[in-house]
Amino acid sequence: MSNKAFILICALVAAALIGLNPLLTNDYFFSAAYTVLLYVVLSTAWNILGGYTGYVNFGTAGFFAIGVYTSVALYKAFKAPLPLMIVAGTVVAGVAGIGVGYLTMRLRGHYFAIATLALAVMLFTFVINWDYAGGARGAYVIAPREAPFGLGHYIRFLYAIMVVLAAIAIAVARGIEHSKLGRGLAAIRDDELAAECAGVPTLRLKLISTAISGGLMGLAGTTFPLFISFVEPTSAFSLSYAVNAIAMPVIGGMNSWLGPLIGALLLGTVQQVVQVTISSAWNLLIVGVLLVLFVTLAPSGIMGWMRGRQRRGRSS
| Interface with another protein in residues 177-196 (CB under 8 A) | 180, 183-184, 186-187, 189-191, 193-196
Binding of another protein at residue 199 (CB under 8 A)?
A: yes
Nearer to another protein, 278 or 311 (CB): 311
Nearer to another protein, 144 or 201 (CB): 201
- In whole angstroms, the minimum distance from the beta carbon of 194 to another protein comes to 4
- From 253, 264, 215, 167, select the one nearest 67 (Cα to Cα): 215
Nearer to another protein, 199 or 313 (CB): 199
Per-residue binding letters, 241-280, with another protein (x by CB under 8 A): --------------x-------------------------
Nearer to another protein, 129 or 179 (CB): 179
- In whole angstroms, the minimum distance from the beta carbon of 262 to another protein comes to 19
Conformation bin of residue 139: beta by default, left when phi > 0, alpha when psi is -120 to 50: beta
Nearer to another protein, 153 or 183 (CB): 183
- In whole angstroms, the minimum distance from the beta carbon of 125 to another protein comes to 36
**Alpha carbon distance 105, 219 (integer Å):** 22
> Exposure of 286 by Cβ count < 10 A (0-12 exposed, 13-18 middle, 19+ buried)?
middle
Number of other residues whose CB lies within 10 A of the CB of residue 168: 19
Amino acid identity at 108 = R
**Alpha carbon distance 238, 220 (integer Å):** 14
**Alpha carbon distance 187, 180 (integer Å):** 11
Nearer to another protein, 187 or 262 (CB): 187
233, HSE (Cβ side, Cα atoms, 13 Å) = 19
- In whole angstroms, the minimum distance from the beta carbon of 181 to another protein comes to 10
- From 222, 260, 290, 232, select the one nearest 52 (Cα to Cα): 260
**Alpha carbon distance 241, 260 (integer Å):** 14
- In whole angstroms, the minimum distance from the beta carbon of 127 to another protein comes to 37
Nearer to another protein, 194 or 276 (CB): 194
Binding of another protein at residue 201 (CB under 8 A)?
A: yes
- From 197, 3, 183, 165, select the one nearest 89 (Cα to Cα): 165
Using the contact rule CB under 8 A, the part of the chain among 120-128, 158-166, 197-205, 244-252 near another protein is 197-205
Name which position in 197, 273, 292, 293 contacts another protein (CB under 8 A): 197
Residues of the shown chain interacting with another protein in the complex, contacts defined by CB under 8 A? 180, 183-184, 186-187, 189-191, 193-203, 255
